[in-house]
Structure 1
């Protein structure tokens, strides 16, 4: 399926960097762990980092039921996820760039109220962070569920932009051989799990973390 081409989701610059396949959108979202949720509060823009999870063409977000900005049944918002793959060093500083993959989703997030749907949404968010964690740890109790609000955002209005490859230097700068040029790769890796200080010694590392 192709991505939407609304006024908000159509790239204004470097349109050749746009992806058109929804599979690329899903790939960017699935690889990320933190999204940035943007909305307007009291007439001013606010952007908050938060966890999320995707199921099909729905993105799930969660927050505190005590948060005033999450009090309504709908939240007009914009969600972004970015992966930095490299710093592009050019011969001229104005051509410095980044290799990246980014997704921007526009829409109105709607509050999930059905108990089964909320349970599924929370499970999706936890499993997105670490597959296997939902079945390993204790599930939310009634008090925790009451303190949590869940929103679902449709992925129909979204864009994906990416850059890869070497710097794009001017021919004159290449000929002048002014400076080193190339790409410094950047990657995110998980380290060795560190047990909590109060974890009993007999508690082994669970399979989904090992």
Structure 2
């Protein structure tokens, strides 16, 4: 639902509040920025994340200041941004960017049950690289104990999306300046083999599939 915190005020027609749109942006991203304040000091920390159903997961070492702080039930703001293009207008003041973004508000919950933590780490790994979990050593008990996993319900969130060409003032369309969009995207390069990889191990199918989808 749209709330006072999530309502897009600047160019409100670009705001989206449905779960499908919000999920699509979260699922396409890899890095989120977690904003919170401790004793009046604001922090914004970039970190990887994963999503399962209506929850967004972040994780890290149990000694992490961010994770220890968020467990106390303080308010948190998480953002994800995907940059799709540079929008070059005739007027310097109308330059923009095409993007997809999500802003999420709420309080994080500690994932303490072993099975729930396991599922969260699975979701995290599969978000980073689909198909990877089955091709790795699963976490052992010591690693599980040393890792804190937090879940943030995706209940109060909005997406904001800009697409299309520049929007100039009517009087500027006749100016002799080039205008248009330069598309931007993240492309996967050729895999770089670990120097200590055992000989004879080929690039796995899920990595090959990822390379094809990304290019």
Structure 2 gap ranges (5+)? 209-215
Equivalent of residue 180 in structure 2, options 173, 182, 190: 182
Matched, 1:117 2:116: yes
Deviation at 1:101, TM superposition (A): 0.6
1:63 Cα deviation from its structure 2 partner: 1.7
State whether residues 17 and 157 of structure 2, in contact with CA within 8 Å, keep that contact through their aligned partners in structure 1. no
State which drifts further: 80-89 or 198-207. Answer: 198-207
Structure 1 residues 110-169: Cα deviation after superposition (integer angstroms, max 9, x where no partner)? 111011000000110001000111111111112211221000111110000001111001
Mapping of residues 5-44 of structure 1, within 5 Å:
5-44=2-41
Q: Which residue of 2 aligns with 1:197?
A: 195
- Give 1:20 deviation, angstroms: 3.1
Contact 1:80 1:104 in 2 (8 A): yes
Number of the residue aligned with 1:60: 57
Runs of 4+ in 1 over 4 A off after TM superposition: none
How far off is 1:73 after superposition? 4.8
Unaligned regions of 5+ residues in structure 1, if any?
Answer: none
The verdict on how the C-alpha distance between 1:83 and 1:69 changes in structure 2, with shifts beyond 3 A counting, is closer
Q: Secondary structure at the match of 1:74?
A: coil
Note if contact 2:86-2:182 (Cα within 8 Å) is conserved in structure 1. yes
Instruction: Check whether the contact 2:87–2:97 (CA below 8 A) recurs between aligned residues.
Output: yes
CA–CA distance in structure 1, aligned partners of residues 191 and 149 of structure 2 = 29
Is the CA contact (8 Å cut-off) linking 2:2 and 2:17 kept in structure 1? Answer: no
Equivalences, count: 206
For normalisation by structure 2, the TM-score amounts to 0.92
Deviation, structure 1 residue 75: 4.4
The secondary structure found in structure 1 opposite 2:144 is helix
